[in-house]
């Protein structure tokens, strides 16, 4: 571990020092996955100038200046930064969802943790306090650390309905009328969120769903404000209705029925993106049923000791096993997996955008988080991200972007 952290430190200081030397840093000897789908390059050379990856290729095939700073990475792997297209910040304190969790410190810890695990951009898809806009701004100035924030701001839910999570009143809008929804969209648009989120789900029949008049108003007003809309969905019929009304992103798997040709057809016709979030369903039972997954060092380092202890306790297992919704959650997870396969088979235009896309630069894929939004569209925020990995270790960093922000190990 020490050796790894030393490398992270060298990389961090190298990026700061780059301006005073030739400005060129070379990573040499690592296996390199470039994110284009091409086979990995076994012994690679990756050249960074300033905050850009300028060349990638096989050792001996890539030229770089003699006075470049060369960092040997034999035995390691370099891959593009991972983009989390649907995450949430500041919801958990210790082992609990809490309405007072959305603090600067809690959000910062999560963002630093993401970055250490190779996630270099994340979309916080709703349930954000307005603090998120300040933090995003500080990141852009280089004074706040962690993975690059994209945000849907608060998001639009239902009074006494989804999302049924304890959050502060200023973390989610719950409009009662279409007019109120439009006013709230306009209010949020002033902060320039990256996307708008809405929830359309009855949570296994437990809550009232959002009135179609309200989600139509949210979608229409968002589009008028130049914003795209991502919807939390569960049901196939809802997904079809939302797409007919202009939604841009399905933010979860369809989990009640197999996706059919009609859905695939309208998704292709409207270029709708699909974020499967399989882990959301699986996490409801996997730790209780398969505790072996928690023995992985990579996992252990990610989770707080209290949470690890909770997941490992007989009480937790009993609670999961006796949850009356458990069979439904498992069926939903299985359906989500099956539907992901269908989407995968159905071709490029509706395939999950798991690959990073570059707007410019010498190599597509690598450094793709530079100028890539979590939803695959191009954005203006630039930083070159990379990830140097070794089994079971957290080892990621970035060039440029937040180079002035303090970098930190949480443990």
Q: List residues binding Zn ion (CB under 5 A).
A: 125
Minimum distance, C-beta of residue 86 to Zn ion, in the bound complex (Å): 6
**Ordered alpha helix ranges (H), 165-294:** 178-189, 212-224, 236-244, 261-270, 278-282, 286-289
With beta carbons less than 8 A apart as the criterion, state whether 129 and 149 touch.
no
Cβ closer to Zn ion: 125 or 374? Answer: 125
DSSP labels for 329-349? HHHHHHHHHHHHHHHHHT-GG
Three-state secondary-structure class, residue 109: helix
Minimum distance, C-beta of residue 251 to Zn ion, in the bound complex (Å): 6
Cβ closer to Zn ion: 78 or 125? Answer: 125
Question: Nearest CA to 174 among 202, 201, 200, 155?
Answer: 155
CA atoms within 13 A on the CB side of 397: 25
Minimum distance, C-beta of residue 199 to Zn ion, in the bound complex (Å): 8
H/E stretch holding 198: strand 196-199
Minimum distance, C-beta of residue 165 to Zn ion, in the bound complex (Å): 9
Three-state secondary-structure class, residue 174: coil
Minimum distance, C-beta of residue 157 to Zn ion, in the bound complex (Å): 11
Neighbours of 245 (CB within 10 A): 16
User: Nearest 5 degrees, angle CA 200-CA 264-CA 249?
Assistant: 40
Tell me which residue has its CB nearest to Zn ion. Answer: 125
Minimum distance, C-beta of residue 200 to Zn ion, in the bound complex (Å): 12
């Amino acid at each position: 571990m020490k050796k790894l952290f030393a490398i992270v430190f060298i990389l961090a200081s190298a990026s700061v020092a780059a301006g005073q030397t030739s400005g060129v840093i070379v990573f040499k000897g690592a296996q390199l996955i470039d994110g284009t789908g091409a086979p990995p390059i076994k012994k690679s050379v990756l050249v960074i100038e300033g905050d850009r990856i300028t060349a990638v290729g096989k050792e001996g095939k890539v030229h770089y200046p003699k006075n470049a700073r060369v960092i040997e990475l034999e035995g390691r792997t370099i891959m593009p930064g991972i983009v989390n297209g649907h995450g949430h910040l500041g919801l958990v304190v210790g082992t609990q969802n809490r309405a007072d969790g959305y603090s600067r410190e809690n959000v910062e810890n999560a963002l630093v943790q993401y970055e250490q695990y190779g996630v270099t951009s994340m979309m916080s898809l709703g349930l954000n306090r307005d603090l998120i806009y300040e933090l995003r701004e500080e990141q852009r100035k280089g004074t706040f650390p962690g993975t690059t924030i994209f945000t849907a701001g608060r998001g639009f839910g239902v009074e006494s309905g989804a999302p049924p999570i304890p959050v502060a009143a200023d973390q989610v809008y719950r409009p009662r009328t279409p007019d109120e929804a439009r006013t709230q969209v306009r209010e949020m648009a002033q902060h320039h969120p990256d996307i708008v989120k809405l929830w359309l789900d009855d949570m296994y029949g437990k809550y009232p769903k959002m009135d179609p008049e309200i989600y139509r108003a949210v979608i229409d007003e968002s589009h008028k404000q130049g914003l795209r809309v991502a919807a939390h969905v569960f049901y196939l019929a809802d997904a079809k209705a939302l797409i007919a009304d202009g939604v841009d992103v399905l933010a979860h798997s369809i989990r009640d029925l197999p996706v059919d040709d009609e859905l695939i057809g309208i998704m292709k016709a409207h270029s709708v993106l699909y974020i499967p979030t399989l882990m959301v369903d699986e996490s409801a039972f996997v730790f209780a049923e398969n505790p072996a997954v928690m023995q992985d060092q990579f996992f252990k380092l990610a989770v707080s000791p209290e949470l690890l202890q909770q997941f490992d306790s007989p009480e937790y297992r009993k609670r999961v096993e006796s949850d009356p919704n458990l069979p439904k959650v498992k069926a939903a997870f299985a359906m989500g997996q099956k539907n992901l396969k269908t989407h995968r088979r159905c071709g490029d235009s509706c395939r999950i955008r798991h690959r990073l896309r570059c707007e410019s630069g010498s190599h597509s894929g690598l450094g793709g988080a530079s100028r890539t939004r979590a939803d695959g569209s191009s954005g203006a925020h630039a930083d070159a991200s990379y990830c140097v990995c070794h089994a079971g270790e957290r080892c990621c960093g970035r060039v440029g972007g937040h180079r002035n922000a303090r970098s930190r190990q949480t443990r």
